[in-house]
Amino acid sequence: MNTYYYLSADKEPHGPHTLDELRALLATGKLTEATMVSAPGSGNWISLATLLTTPQAMPTLPQQDAGPCPACSCKLATTLNLLPERCPQCGYRLRPQNPNSLWQNFLLALRKSFVLKGRATRIELWSFVLFSMIFSFIFLTVLQIAAVILLPAEALFALDTPNYNDMPLFMTPEVKTALILISTLTIIFNIVLFVPQLSATIRRLHDVGRSGWHVVLYLAMCLVLPFCAGCIAGALSNPSTSPLIFIGIGVALSLTLIGYALYLFILLILDSHRGTNTYGVSPKYPIS
């Protein structure tokens, strides 16, 4: 018997239902003739009126066994290698409920700022990275405008000139207050963006079967970078007294950090592992 899904007012699929059940829902007023319907796995949505007039317009496609539902263990079937949106028996969502916009994924990562367990899809992490870059640009622009308004021209010139020695002359109480305010806002802004991005990165690594400790190791290696730069700069500035081994150590550590960063980047753009791994059920492919 052919079954069909219908789209509710909030664009959520419901079903599957037989033609008789759809007619009953239409009679009660829950559905209208303009309600969009589709056969399982079809992807072709037509109006209910069209379906009821010509049921053959949407034939049921052949299905294949897909194993048990992870929630109720009832047998599932795929159509064109696609699972239905929900389990027909218990309603468990079988395909990912991805937000419809990058903004919603950004908000999801923000809400889960302190959640280190579980998994995160690529779109969740990279949506947060995208909007973080946009907000950082806006924040820095506003901060520069505020600095121009709050600080005198002499203080701005002193800040832009590292070797300028008269900066203390312009450090009036008003200038000090403005600098403290700007610095505090910058620190708070960076923390607000860093924490959720760190947690989302850890959950993204979980999604591809890797430990979140990879991020901790990378951050620890970043702390060594100033030492690398110091070794190279010191050896180059005093070649007669600094052995070449310092240059070698600095270059080796720098290349190691670059290589490890590239490795992490590749992990973060990999597709989700299907099914369940050590860190939980895949939000994108609940069934392997």
| Residue 178 and residue 150 in contact, taking contact as beta carbons nearer than 8 Å | yes
The rounded distance, in Å, linking the Cα atoms of 141 and 150 is 14
Mean pLDDT, all residues of the chain:
79
Question: Which pLDDT band holds residue 191 (cuts at 50, 70, 90)?
Answer: very high
Q: Give domain 4-61's CATH superfamily.
A: GYF domain (3.30.1490.40)
Residue 228 pLDDT greater than 60, yes or no = yes
Phi–psi pair at 116, nearest 5 degrees: -100, -10
What is the structure's pLDDT at 259?
93
Instruction: Kindly list the domain boundaries of the chain, sorted by start residue.
Output: 4-61, 101-207, 209-272
Query: Interior CA angle at 60 toward 59 and 66, to 5°?
Result: 160
| Residue 57 and residue 51 in contact, taking contact as beta carbons nearer than 8 Å | yes
pTM: 0.62
Residue 7 pLDDT greater than 90, yes or no = no
Could you check whether the bond before residue 96 is cis, i.e. omega within 30 degrees of 0?
no
Residue 99 pLDDT greater than 50, yes or no = no
Q: Which has more confidence, 25 or 162?
A: 25
Instruction: Please give the full DSSP string across 97-123, using - where no structure is assigned.
Output: ---SSHHHHHHHHHHTTT--SS---HH
- Look up tokens 């960076």; give the residue: 190
Residues of the chain with pLDDT > 70, as a percent, come to 74
Tokens of residue 101, six digits:
């916009």
Could you give the maximum distance between any two Cα atoms of the chain, in Å? 93
